[in-house]
Structure 1
């Protein structure tokens, strides 16, 4: 069995067991804190790469799974206990003053031919799609987020920057939600899509949008990407993530190249994909034509790619 599969199996078993113990109140877990020991994961990841003995590699992956489960559980348990009766405010002074946003939109100018988009979202739950008849629409729930939005025009090109500036969490609000939706117009060609998030649940559905480069940076996250066919000349997707689960859906007829570089993790690809030197290729890959290139770099990640 691969070290990545052992890691994820042991991780989920350990995390589930810890939560079961907590729910049954067998022991008091409130005073334990292990977050300072996270560098041990890096040490064990290095061992998995350097040690050739498969028994040692598999054992190290299993221990790392237990360690990550304990760090997440005990750190998260203490954090939420301490914050249970307070309000939390995130402010990023480097991103301007911003304005409270519940619904913000801008009409589409048909002279816009290409777009560079930067979206810095912070933490929370995010949905991005490309079905808007406006240039863009930002919609939030009652989470009192402030955004700065800047649209710089130069001829037929737009440089659109959307950044989360302030985020208030009222822990006493039992109906609290934290969803942010961004809807884009699919008509322009998107030269660059730069998406940056922290601890987030991220859903990106851009199957109707054409782009050249997509870069996604996330922390601890759950991410789902629905991608289109590659644009003329090819499209590239680069994902940099922390401890994450990533699901990527590509069109059945797409020509795809997938490269993964993860310290600890596992990747699954559609049936028929061929692996050569650590890179996966779709059955119709010939080295020419419009290729959808996907590169994933992460620490502890579980990646699933599906074709449909």
Structure 2
């Protein structure tokens, strides 16, 4: 039996087991840490080409993978600002801090830019005709701040987290936020280890940029704007994008190791897909997805 088959077989089986056990809540670990461990792939590749017996290679692979799993499940190792530190204090502050704020909508606003950080949480975004932005958080001690600036018909909103807050994947936060459907929106989200659901079907979206770590992301797009550009970049994630049947969609997807489900599209080239009605559709969506280890589903509704 070729070692190459055993090598990749062990890796795929382990990753599949981790996804399964995590989905069944039998294990709790930080998927973002898996993305941090991308150099391990180089280590495993190096082991595969060592001029030693196959049994020795298998032992080395198992040891490296076991160490990687231990790291992902180890809560004493925290990453912050591109460096890491080790914390032996497990008395984390778990107080519940609820937070709400409403940014009023003015008829003069024709275009809005939103730049937002999303911490470890469950996040839901919908449309609401009352306010420009309605934000509500329930959960642990993470304090969101915001800043607003307006120039004529354009309003810029930044929603961010205090710099001294260290985010953990097991932080228990639930965020519900709504955006006004009247302005044309440019949205940029920086997502940590979170479960997010963007229902944008009732909004005029010009540009959507999602940068995610270990996240579960669901995006429902609409046909309220003529040309919508969507860019999604993730590490170890689950991605689901819903595209309206009436909209024409051009999809470019790049993935390292992922399972893809693409429905209602024709394949143009490797990683390039397009709906049949793209040329004649009044509303066009340009969707670019770059992901590492993930499951990715693009469907029409």
User: TM bucket by the smaller chain?
Assistant: 0.7 to 0.9
Query: Which of 183, 189, 214 is matched with 2:184 structurally?
Result: 189
Aligned partner of 1:133 among 130, 133, 153: 130
Query: d(CA) in 2 for partners of 1:19 and 1:222?
Result: 11
Contact 1:41 1:67 in 2 (8 A): no
Alignment deviations for residues 245-290 of structure 1 (CA, whole Å, 9 cap, x no partner): 10111112211111111111122111x4110112111121227753
2:206 alignment partner in structure 1? 212
How far did residue 123 of structure 1 move?
A: 2.6
Residues 67-100 of structure 1 deviation map (CA, whole Å, 9 limit, x = unaligned) = 99856642233227987942169xxxxxxxxxx7
Structure-2 separation of matches of 1:195 and 1:35 = 18
Give the TM-score normalised by the residue count of structure 1: 0.71
CA deviations on 1:18-64 (whole Å, 9 max, x unpaired) are 999x99xxxxxxxxx99986413357799xxxxxxxxxxxxxxxxxx
Structure 2 CA distance, aligned partners of 1:202 and 1:227?
Answer: 14
Q: Secondary structure of 2:181's partner?
A: coil
Q: Equivalences for 1:1-308 in 2 at 5 Å?
A: 11-13=15-17, 16=20, 38-41=38-41, 73-79=69-75, 85-87=90-92, 102-165=99-162, 167=165, 177-190=172-185, 192-229=186-223, 231-232=225-226, 234-270=227-263, 272-278=264-270, 279-286=272-279, 289-308=282-301
TM, length-normalised to structure 2: 0.73
CA offsets 1:158-209 (integer angstroms, 9 cap, x no match): 01111122658899xx9x731122211111111x211111111111111100
Task: Provide the rounded CA distance (Å) in 1 between the counterparts of 2:36 and 2:154.
Answer: 46
Conservation of the 8 A alpha-carbon contact between 2:117 and 2:160: yes
What RMSD over aligned residues (CA atoms) do the two structures have, in Å?
A: 4.0
* Structure 1 alignment gaps of length 5 or more: 24-32, 47-65, 90-99
* Number of residue pairs aligned between Structure 1 and Structure 2: 261
Asked whether the 8 Å contact 1:87–1:168 carries over to 2, the reply is no
Query: What is the SS of the residue equivalent to 2:17?
Result: helix
| Residues 209-249 of structure 1, C-alpha deviations (whole Å, 9 max, x = no match) | 011111000001111111112622x1110001011110111
Q: 1:221 to 1:15 in 2, by over 3 A?
A: closer
